[in-house]
Amino acid sequence: MADTAHRTRVPRAEREAQMLEVAEQVFVERGIQAATMDDIAERVGVTKPLIYDYFGSKEGLLAATIEKGRRQLLGLIIEAWLEHPQLPVRERIRAVIHAWFDFIDEHEQAFALLRTEGALVGPAADSVERIRQQTAKAFAEGLRGLPAFAGLPPARMTGMAEILVGGCERLAVSRVVTPGLSADDATDLVMTTIWDGIGSVGTGRR
């Protein structure tokens, strides 16, 4: 009775954040298939039914964990793009790409979940695809607002954004599998091998 009397009610938003943080750790440590709701509940210090009440299922919890990373990444990309509007386009793009690699370096657990894409199904797989789509959309919208790219067909603009995002994603995976490239190195590589080609479309060079 004494423990119950002194137990503090945690606000829902704070409790949800705790669950997502712990779930990310457990999914990465034990693997998506091996991780259980019992594991997560025990670490958070709550009952398993409470986690089901918040997220509905293990798949729902995994999807919410991935969504958290998606929101953080998208926010950083937009912030990097808007931070220095007076800079030349190439420097603004470089800042965005660097923010991408910085995020991955600082959120290794979240990125590890995305790299297990083959094990993802249902809402979690949808969340990973949504990350790609929204990141590409953010790049496309940023380019669309630049005079150098005015008049380009929307499909072409979207295609360029997809190429840029796809290249960043594959390089990010490569850096984990074969370490050796810093965030600066990776950013320079994307700028010289991908962006300079895309940028030439906007400036009219061939």
Confidence of residue 37 (pLDDT cuts 50, 70, 90): very high
* Greater pLDDT, 48 or 84: 48
Q: Which of 108-117, 126-135, 161-170 has the highest mean pLDDT?
A: 161-170
CB 145 within 8 A of CB 179: no
Q: Does residue 178 carry a pLDDT above 80?
A: yes
164: its two tokens: 């840029």
Q: Does residue 52 carry a pLDDT above 60?
A: yes
CA-based max dimension of the chain = 76
Confidence of residue 4 (pLDDT cuts 50, 70, 90): very low
Average pLDDT over residues 43-72: 90
Write down the pLDDT at residue 186: 96
Q: Does residue 103 carry a pLDDT above 80?
A: yes
Write down the pLDDT at residue 3: 47
Average pLDDT over residues 150-175: 88
* Greater pLDDT, 148 or 48: 48
Q: Does residue 120 carry a pLDDT above 80?
A: no
SS3 205: coil
Residue 40's nearest CA partner among 25, 55, 56, 53 is: 25
CB 51 within 8 A of CB 37: yes
Tell me the fold of 3-203: Tetracycline Repressor; domain 2 (1.10.357)
CB 62 within 8 A of CB 117: no
Q: Does residue 191 carry a pLDDT above 90?
A: yes
Query: How do the domains of the chain map onto residue ranges?
Result: 3-203
CB 114 within 8 A of CB 66: yes
pTM of the model: 0.77
Write down the pLDDT at residue 6: 44
Query: CB neighbours (10 Å) of residue 34?
Result: 10
DSSP secondary structure string for all residues of 24-78: HHHHHHH-TTT--HHHHHHHHTS-HHHHHHHHSSHHHHHHHHHHHHHHHHHHHHH
Q: Does residue 177 carry a pLDDT above 90?
A: no
| Residue whose token pair is 């940023």 | 142
- Taking only the tens place, the pLDDT of each residue in 70-93 is 788 888 888 998 888 888 889 999
CB 22 within 8 A of CB 28: no
Q: Percentage of the chain with pLDDT > 90? A: 33
Residue 101's nearest CA partner among 76, 78, 82, 120 is: 76
Q: Percentage of the chain with pLDDT > 70? A: 87
